[in-house]
């Protein structure tokens, strides 16, 4: 049963707890607008521990917004390789170019202007505004939704945008004017470390132990409520590692859709036979020497599953390397220059040394 709680009462206990328990994070100790921005984009649907190494490498390679705006696509995707949700970094570069053009290269310190930039929604705009510019606006992410719905024993479906709006409005009323960024980070820190997303909530460690309505009602683990999601669709695919003496064939994926703009080994929808693969190779005007079956593998995306079978095909050195849309590359070069998604990890290792 939902209960109206005076949120003003819980602000200071949370800030005090945060002062004692906050983690040292690279973007937290040096909270420049650019670093906060990069971290917030990386942290979308991604855990802190996964982000850390990417963050250091990214801001090291691209220390300013201008560096980001000017980087070529392949190098940009290479910096993001393995982090997922690749449109995040494409949008970030679009935004960087807008910032150069429109804001003279400086991140705008205004919630509404931030919100207009590509890839920055209500959460990220609030996070940047409050953390980097000390503007008292909320930043409601999954942690905040969970923590507050438990605090108030609110059984509303947190996936509904009206619920999120409501929470933003209520938090706006109680934002501490001098510590907005800390307050937002404290809410998230509580969600990440105490009122955790999977697993038992550590209520005995919680600064809101005596306030939490869900704990009083014994329904902590029932919250937050969420509509059950539908199951993923399964796709059979056949992956071909096509190699000559020292090079392997890759291709660039389309600029839109799944894994947009990344590189991949040739692959086909459905389960192809050895003959079908060899026919495809010959149609390309290439001469196969050997073919060998590789292990099956599976990769799970958010809304789809690839069930893959693989072949490695050794061919004669091609006379003409100009195949439309295909590249023959040294596997080591691939490692340095071409971003290949984790979905192909099971087969990447066979791009070298097999025969």
Parallel, antiparallel, or unpaired for β 304-315 and 233-243?
parallel
Least distance CB 198 / DNA (angstroms): 5
Region 156-175 residues binding DNA, contact defined as CB under 7 A: 160-162
Q: How far is the CB of 93 from DNA (least distance, A)?
A: 12
Q: Which of 71, 135, 220, 259 touches DNA (CB under 7 A)?
A: 259
Distance CA 39, CA 254 (A): 27
Q: Which is nearer to DNA, 39 or 152 (CB)?
A: 39
Residue 325: burial class (beta carbons within 10 Å; 0-12, 13-18, 19+): exposed
* Nearer to DNA (CB atom), residue 132 or residue 277: 132
Please identify which residue in 25, 203, 278, 291 interacts with DNA, judged by CB under 7 A.
25
Least CB distance from residue 250 to DNA, whole Å? 15
- Per-residue x/- track, 210-249, DNA (CB under 7 A): ----------------xxxxxx------------------
Is the separation of the CB atoms in 127 and 36 below 8 Å? yes
* Binding of DNA by 336 (CB under 7 A): no
- Of the candidate residues 188, 206, 214, 223, the single one contacting DNA (CB under 7 A): 188
| 41-70 binders of DNA (CB under 7 A) | 43-50
Nearest Cα residue to 297 out of 244, 232, 259, 349: 349
Q: Which of residues 27-46 bind DNA (CB under 7 A)?
A: 28, 39-40, 43-46
Count of residues in the chain: 355
Whether 40 is catalytic is: yes
For DNA (CB under 7 A), the number of binding residues is: 63
Q: Which two tokens stand for residue 55?
A: 């963050």
Window 284-303: residues binding DNA (CB under 7 A):
299-303
Nearest-approach distance from CB 134 to DNA, in angstroms: 15
- The DSSP bridge pattern shows strands 288-300 and 267-269 to be unpaired
Q: Distance between CA atoms of 124 and 273, rounded to whole angstroms?
A: 47
Tell me the DSSP string of 262-298.
-EE--EEES---HHHHHHHHHHTT--EEEEEEEEEEE
CB of 190 or CB of 277, closer to DNA? 190
Structure tokens at 29: 């100790």
Q: Which is nearer to DNA, 182 or 244 (CB)?
A: 182
| Longest CA–CA separation in the chain, Å | 76
Considering the candidates 4, 29, 30, 40, report the single residue annotated as catalytic: 40
Contact between 143 and DNA (CB under 7 A)?
yes
Which of these segments, 61-69, 101-109, 137-145, 324-332, binds DNA (CB under 7 A)? 137-145
Residues in a beta bridge with 306: 235, 299
Query: What sign for the dihedral angle of Cα 214, 159, 137, 108?
Result: positive
Contact between 84 and DNA per CB under 7 A: yes
How large is the C-alpha radius of gyration of the chain?
Answer: 25
* 219, HSE (Cβ side, Cα atoms, 13 Å): 17
Q: Which residues of this chain interact with DNA, rule CB under 7 A?
A: 25, 28, 39-40, 43-50, 82-87, 91, 118-125, 127, 141-143, 146, 160-162, 185, 188-189, 191-192, 197-199, 226-231, 257-260, 299-304, 341-343, 345
């Amino acid at each position: 049963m939902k209960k109206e709680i005076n949120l003003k009462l819980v602000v200071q206990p949370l800030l005090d707890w945060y002062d004692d328990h906050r983690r040292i994070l690279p973007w937290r100790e040096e909270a420049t607008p650019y670093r906060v921005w990069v971290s917030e984009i990386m942290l979308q649907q991604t855990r802190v521990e996964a982000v850390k190494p990417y963050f250091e490498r990214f801001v090291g390679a691209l220390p300013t917004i201008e560096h980001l705006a000017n980087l070529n696509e392949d190098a940009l995707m290479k910096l993001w390789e393995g982090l997922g949700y690749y449109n995040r970094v494409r949008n970030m570069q679009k935004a960087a170019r807008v910032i150069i053009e429109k804001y003279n290269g400086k991140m705008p310190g205004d919630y509404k202007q931030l919100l207009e930039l590509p890839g920055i929604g209500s959460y990220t705009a609030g996070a940047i505004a409050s953390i980097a510019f000390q503007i008292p606006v909320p930043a409601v992410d999954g942690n905040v939704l969970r923590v507050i719905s438990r605090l108030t024993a609110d059984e509303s479906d947190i996936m509904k945008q009206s619920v999120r709006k409501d929470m933003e409005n209520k938090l706006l009323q109680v934002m501490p004017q001098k510590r907005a960024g800390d307050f937002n980070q404290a809410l998230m820190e509580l969600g990440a470390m105490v009122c955790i997303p999977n697993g038992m909530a550590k209520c005995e460690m919680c600064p809101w132990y005596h306030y939490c309505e869900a704990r009083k009602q014994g329904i902590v683990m029932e919250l937050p409520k969420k509509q059950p999601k539908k199951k993923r669709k399964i796709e059979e695919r056949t992956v071909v590692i096509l190699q000559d003496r020292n090079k392997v064939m890759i291709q660039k994926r389309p600029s839109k859709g799944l894994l947009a703009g990344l590189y991949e080994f040739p692959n086909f929808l459905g389960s192809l036979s050895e003959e079908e693969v060899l026919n495809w190779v010959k149609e390309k005007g290439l001469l196969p020497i050997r073919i060998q079956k590789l292990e099956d593998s599976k990769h799970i995306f958010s809304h789809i599953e690839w069930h893959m079978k693989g072949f490695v095909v050794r061919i004669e050195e091609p006379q003409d390397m100009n195949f439309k849309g295909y590249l023959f590359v040294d596997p080591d070069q691939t490692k340095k220059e071409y971003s290949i998604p984790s979905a192909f990890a099971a087969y990447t290792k066979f791009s070298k040394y097999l025969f």
